Amino acid sequence: SARVAGVDAPRSIGKRTGRLLAIVIVIAIAGCDRAKAPEPQPQPQVAATSATSASAPACDAGSLAVPQAAPKRVVAIGDLHGDLAATRKVLRLAGVIDANDAWIGGDVVVVQTGDQIDRGDDDRKILDLFDRLRDAAEKSGGRVLSLLGNHEVMNASFDFRYVTPGAFTEFGDVNANVPRVEGLEPLQRGRAAAFAPGGPYASTLSKRPVVARVGDSIFVHGGVLPKHVRYGLDRINEEARVWLEGNRGAASGPPPRALAAEDAPLWTRMYSAAPGREECATLDETLRLLGAKRMVVGHTPQKPSIAPACDSKVWRIDVGLSRYYGGPVQALELRGDEVRVLTEEKPLP
């Protein structure tokens, strides 16, 4: 996949410690007719992960492969990286929370494309905020859908290279009988207990998808390639869920090897770095297989603004809005076929 100087990249799978192992949590379309997109049918507004077995067919209601009726308004938010102040700003920009962080978005669907953590001190506060908003939005007929990013999986793999001292301290009260924690520095143990497969925050992450469909748009942290579709997406989803939940003794080992790839949906920059004709052709094939119009991705900071590519078939929404990067506060709004960038107005000096 494309490389971007100065940003994180996965380590070699062969390293014993601190592996970066990309997790793919998506919905299978194995067995679907890939020659043409299925005819639109009335469906639930959002299709994300499925807890069904790996062999379950996926060409049914709610499948990622089936076009759905789009919500009236969808707001997509990119990487947050441990900055609660910026997180609040972008949620208020979207009009979905008030000054007290209470949900006021009604039936709006918010999709946050992962990397809520690392590089800032507020990881736990952000994770907890999105869980609270998820519950509140559902009561109002809306939806807050947080996706997994590569940094969430890095932490579940005990790769703490991008964790700040303050973000370690946030989890100091978490205790769990987790293998390997004893070998870590005391400051790291609470966070490790929280994010280790089977730990409280890993269990929360196990319920978050990597790829979700809202209407005719596909949302993912890095990108979906045709080979991810053909591999059997529900199969990968099940393996990832089991690993994060800590079943099959997974708390002492890495995720399944099939999920660890530099070009996995959490890691690929094919569409977000500098896509050319070849990359756009790959995107076209992926969207055709999924019967979708566009893909929305994070993972790679864009300057100076959210940017479309490939004839607006992909929207790159990571603008580095956290304090670490110093980018603008922006979000992407979708209303039917209308797509526009929401930007925080800067006060005059």
Question: So which residues are the catalytic ones?
Answer: 151
Instruction: Give the distance from CA 167 to its chain's centroid.
Output: 20
> E strand or H helix at 230, and its extent?
helix 226-245
Outline where 70-122 has alpha helix (H). 84-93
Cβ-based neighbours of 320, under 8 Å, separated by 6 or more: 79, 301, 302, 303, 326, 327
- Residue bearing tokens 């090897």: 257
Rounded CA gap, 155 and 5, in Å?
Answer: 22
Rounded CA gap, 110 and 183, in Å?
Answer: 39
C-alpha distances (whole Å) from 24 to each of 49, 125, 152, 225, 276 are: 10, 25, 12, 12, 25
Beta strand 109-112 with 143-146: parallel, antiparallel or unpaired? parallel
